[in-house]
């Protein structure tokens, strides 16, 4: 999840302005903050929580993630857990062995770690301020475990894409995205980033998992479906998480 916003903003710190669609921005931010603070998420039984750390058992390994409440990008969100478990349980449908995989908005790195454990050559990306914790988690959980050492790179959605990730040399079999759609103001840039990495005839498949929270999520989905051939792979009703598979329209 890519963002530089904090999860601890008070009511006074968030201006009560209206979006163009009439939905108050402050209510969205309050909901995200409440979700960030509610770490005892009972829908995922294989997770146990300790202060500042979450541990998982996925792909045959214990994965220990360091997180923080200082940023949405330093927390684990339901979409990352759901897509990680989907990849583990559907290896014939989505075979990551020896595949080139890019994650956008990697956050704490859980999904990139799982992809690495499943044999992929992974590049995890996020905002520059997120990278130290992302790098720490990837290193701690992949060392001597993975076929390839996962890489970490800075990526701001919509900015300098062709310069930093030229299409001629940066080709990926899969692009992963988990809980990248929520209340932020960069949905157009996010869609542009997805389109940059998943071009027509590129052979790249996008796997996107997201918890449905706001009406803006559904509007983004409409824009997404206008650019991509989209298939709903699964819907987890208990967490309100949907996982999509998509390829660029010709």
Task: Average the pLDDT over 40-63 and give the result.
Answer: 63
Beta strand 100-104 with 121-126 is parallel
| 76 has a pLDDT exceeding 60 | yes
| 198 has a pLDDT exceeding 80 | yes
Residue 1: name the closest of 84, 79, 57, 82 by CA.
79
Residue with tokens 């130290």: 132
pLDDT band for 48, please (50, 70, 90 cuts).
very low
Q: How far is CA 147 from CA 29, 35, 117, 119, 133, in A?
A: 40, 35, 7, 6, 22
Looking at residue 75, its pLDDT comes to: 79
Bridge partners of 101, per DSSP, are 122, 174
Looking at residue 8, its pLDDT comes to: 32
Looking at residue 164, its pLDDT comes to: 97
pLDDT band for 35, please (50, 70, 90 cuts).
low
Bridge partners of 175, per DSSP, are 102, 206
Q: Which is higher by pLDDT, 54 or 222?
A: 222
Best-predicted range by mean pLDDT among 35-39, 42-46, 93-97, 184-188? Answer: 93-97
Contact 211, 79 (CB under 8 A): yes
CB atoms near residue 40 (< 10 Å):
6
Q: Which is higher by pLDDT, 222 or 14?
A: 222
| 18 has a pLDDT exceeding 80 | no
Task: Average the pLDDT over 184-200 and give the result.
Answer: 93
Using DSSP's 3-state secondary structure scheme, residue 58 falls into: strand
pLDDT tens digits, one per residue of 103-153: 999 999 999 999 999 999 999 999 999 999 999 999 999 999 999 999 999
Using DSSP's 3-state secondary structure scheme, residue 73 falls into: helix
Looking at residue 72, its pLDDT comes to: 54
pLDDT tens digits, one per residue of 163-179: 999 999 999 999 999 99
Contacts of 91-98 spanning 24+ positions with Cβ under 8 A: 91/118, 94/174, 94/207, 96/120, 96/174, 97/147, 98/147
Residue with tokens 């030229």: 166
Contact 150, 175 (CB under 8 A): no
Q: How far is CA 41 from CA 46, 53, 120, 204, 205, in A?
A: 11, 14, 29, 33, 30
Looking at residue 184, its pLDDT comes to: 74
Which ranges in the chain belong to alpha helices (H)?
Answer: 25-37, 78-89, 110-117, 131-142, 161-164, 187-197, 215-227
Rg (CA), the chain: 17
Read off the DSSP letter of residue 240. Answer: T
First to last CA, the chain: 28
Report d(CA 123, CA 125) in Å as an integer: 7
């Amino acid at each position: 999840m890519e963002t530089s916003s904090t999860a601890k903003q008070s009511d006074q710190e968030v201006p009560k302005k209206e979006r163009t669609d009439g939905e108050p921005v402050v209510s969205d931010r309050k909901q995200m903050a409440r979700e960030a603070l509610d770490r005892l998420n009972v829908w995922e039984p294989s997770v146990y929580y300790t202060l500042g750390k979450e541990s998982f058992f996925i792909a045959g390994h214990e994965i220990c993630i360091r997180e923080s409440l200082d940023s949405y990008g330093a927390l684990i969100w339901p979409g990352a857990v759901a897509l990680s478990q989907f990849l583990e349980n559907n290896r014939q449908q989505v075979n990551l062995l020896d595949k080139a995989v890019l994650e956008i908005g990697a956050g704490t790195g859980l999904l990139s770690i799982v992809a690495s454990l499943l044999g992929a050559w992974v590049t995890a990306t996020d905002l520059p301020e997120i990278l130290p914790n992302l790098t720490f988690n990837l290193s701690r959980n992949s060392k001597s475990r993975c076929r390839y050492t996962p890489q970490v790179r800075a990526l701001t959605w919509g900015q300098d894409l062709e310069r930093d990730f030229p299409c001629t040399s940066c080709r990926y079999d899969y692009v992963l995205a988990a809980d990248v759609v929520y209340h932020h103001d960069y949905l157009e840039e996010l869609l542009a980033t997805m389109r940059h990495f998943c071009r027509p005839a590129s052979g790249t498949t996008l796997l996107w998992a997201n918890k449905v929270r706001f009406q803006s999520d559904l509007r983004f989905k409409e824009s997404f479906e206008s650019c991509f051939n989209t298939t709903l792979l699964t819907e987890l009703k208990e967490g309100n998480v949907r996982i999509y598979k998509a390829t660029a329209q010709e």
